[in-house]
Amino acid sequence: MSFSTPSFLFLFLPPVLLAALFLKRKTQNLFLLLASLVFYAWGEGGFVLLLLASALLNHLLGLAIGRAAPPRKRRMLLLAALGFNLSLLAVFKYAGFILSSLGVQAGRDGGAFFLHQPLGISFFTFMAMAYLVEVYNRAIPAERNFLHTALFICFFPTVLAGPLNRYSLLGRQMSERQATPELLGEGIRRFIIGLGKKVLLADTLGRVVDAVFAVPATGLTASLAWLGALLYTLQIFLDFAGYSDMAIGLGRMFGFRFAENFNYPYISRSITEFWTRWHISLSSWLRDFIFLPGAYAISRRIPGERWLGVRVDAWCYYPAMMLTMLLCGLWHGAAWTFVAWGAYHGVLIVLERQALKKFLRRSWPPLQAAYALLAVCLGWVLFRAGSFTQAAGFWRAMFGFADGDGMEYYPALYLDNVTLLALAVAVLLATPAGRALPAAAARLIQGADARRRDWLSAGFQLITAILLTVVLLASAMRLAVSTYNPFIYFRF
């Protein structure tokens, strides 16, 4: 089940929300856990048992790590716990990739080995591992209430595609949160905005992206390749940011405050900055649990300030960053194109720290932003392409070495008025310009006298309610007539 399906919007969410609002917190937690298991089983069937088993075993492992006093025993328990979680990923997500990379054919019909990848396995496994590491580091005590641990791992707003919340953020909310009318209204608004981003914008642009990426390399022109790359750059942002808005909105409806996941990544002035704005919960997870431990481990093994003429901080930073970004690419998908995408970003970050640092610092800010956006866009081509050959064909076309003559495939063939409108709104929402109108309205209201302030505030709220209603109705109508189009990050 997906947030952007009629079954969720009209059959699942209304009764769950209505019932939860009338339950006390302890009963509500149990009810939300049961609802989350139903939500997961709706789409994944028997794999809900795998999710529940993961929650139970990670709860028990967390208790064992929390009780263990000797450092060696705690470390061994942590390694065993991480091994269990990584084994889930190895079996259900990477087994086919590993075997096919080794040339092993293990399918019943002689084809490649294949196991169904349970939805959200990367997300709920990473959340569980973060919880265990926090317990190991004594950042939080081990949770004694299995209901809280299970709800943290299985909660339906985050189980499929995050955000990757930490238990240090949500643990206290399990027992102390307050579901207020203000949070409910805030959550509904955030959910509707996310739904509109996904259904009205990302899916509209996605149809063009799919069509352009289906064009053979011999039919690509420079303008068509750039169109596909730029529209995919906007589509993946709106698709995933829309999901995050919906998840955060759902959390607030039930009194939870989740971590934010996006902060206008396409206004970044470097790839380093991009990763502080894009998928923030994953970036911070990789920083805290891969990069920093890796850099620290290297630093402990290098005596002095230099080794082989290179400063220790360089030895710590560069290998740890490359490892982190390679794992980031692999996390996104079991394919060599994703590994290469991670390596591409890692190389750019290393170059920015070493060779491009002064150039970027002294460059005109719009030039910095153009560099970052171009680098991200080129990377998204590799991310979207089904193979290195397809990615290379797109890059060749984008840089003027196209094979197409523009007679059969050309941009105007794919750009109708609806797509152009979606494109304009997408660009607006991808930049802080989308906040300009609400901010101007807020300044106008604050600057008015008391009587006018009340009228202006009421008028602004009415306009906001009308716009949100229009977005909700338009999204519902689109869902009623379109085929199911899952969120891009569901495959990760």
Higher pLDDT, 387 or 311: 387
Higher pLDDT, 100 or 470: 470
d(CA 445, CA 321): 47
Contacts of 85 (CB under 8 A, 6+ apart): 54, 58, 125, 128, 129, 132
Higher pLDDT, 486 or 59: 59
Residues, the chain: 492
Query: Which DSSP string do the residues of 256-275 spell out, in sequence order?
Result: --PPP--S-GGG-SSHHHHH
| Digit-coded pLDDT (tens) for 266-287 | 999 999 999 999 999 999 999 9
The residue assigned the tokens 């959340």 is 127
| Digit-coded pLDDT (tens) for 55-71 | 999 999 999 999 998 88
Kindly tell me if the per-residue pLDDT of 485 is higher than 80: no
Sign of CA dihedral 303, 308, 313, 315: negative
According to the model, what pLDDT value does residue 452 have? 79
d(CA 160, CA 118): 9
Proportion of the chain in helix, strand, coil states, percent, rounded to 5: 75, 0, 25
- In this prediction the pTM is 0.91
| Digit-coded pLDDT (tens) for 333-350 | 889 999 999 999 999 999
Mean pLDDT of all residues belonging to the chain? 89
| Digit-coded pLDDT (tens) for 178-220 | 888 899 999 999 999 999 999 999 999 999 999 999 999 889 9
Kindly tell me if the per-residue pLDDT of 303 is higher than 80: no
d(CA 144, CA 159): 21
Summarize the confidence of residues 106-127 as an average pLDDT.
74
Instruction: Write the single-letter amino acid at 225.
Output: A
Summarize the confidence of residues 28-39 as an average pLDDT.
96
Instruction: Write the single-letter amino acid at 315.
Output: W
Kindly tell me if the per-residue pLDDT of 98 is higher than 70: yes
CA 42 to chain centre: 22
According to the model, what pLDDT value does residue 113 have? 52
Please state the three-class secondary structure of 377-443 as a single string. HHHHHHHHCCCHHHHHHHHHHHCCCCCCCCCCCCHHHCCCHHHHHHHHHHHHHCCHHHHHHHHHHHH
* Residue 71, preceding peptide bond in cis (omega within 30° of 0): no
Summarize the confidence of residues 113-117 as an average pLDDT.
72
| Digit-coded pLDDT (tens) for 228-278 | 999 999 999 999 999 999 999 999 999 999 999 999 999 999 999 999 999
pLDDT level of residue 108 (50, 70, 90 thresholds):
very low
pLDDT level of residue 486 (50, 70, 90 thresholds):
confident
Contacts of 37 (CB under 8 A, 6+ apart): 48, 51, 52, 154
According to the model, what pLDDT value does residue 373 have? 96
| Digit-coded pLDDT (tens) for 404-457 | 887 888 888 899 999 999 999 999 999 988 777 777 777 777 777 777 777 877
From residue 349, how far is each of 166, 199, 204, 314 by CA, in Å? Answer: 26, 33, 32, 13
Percent of the chain with pLDDT over 70: 96
Kindly tell me if the per-residue pLDDT of 106 is higher than 70: no
Domain chopping of the chain, boundaries: 6-101+116-177, 190-423
What amino acid positions are annotated as catalytic residues? Answer: 332
Summarize the confidence of residues 381-397 as an average pLDDT.
94
Summarize the confidence of residues 371-380 as an average pLDDT.
97
Half-sphere exposure of 57 (CA within 13 A, CB side): 18
Lowest mean pLDDT of 221-230, 316-325, 441-450, name the range.
441-450
d(CA 123, CA 161): 6
Percent of the chain with pLDDT over 90: 66
Higher pLDDT, 65 or 296: 65
Summarize the confidence of residues 297-310 as an average pLDDT.
68
| Environment class of 405 (CB within 10 Å of its CB; exposed 0-12, middle 13-18, buried 19+) | exposed
According to the model, what pLDDT value does residue 105 have? 61
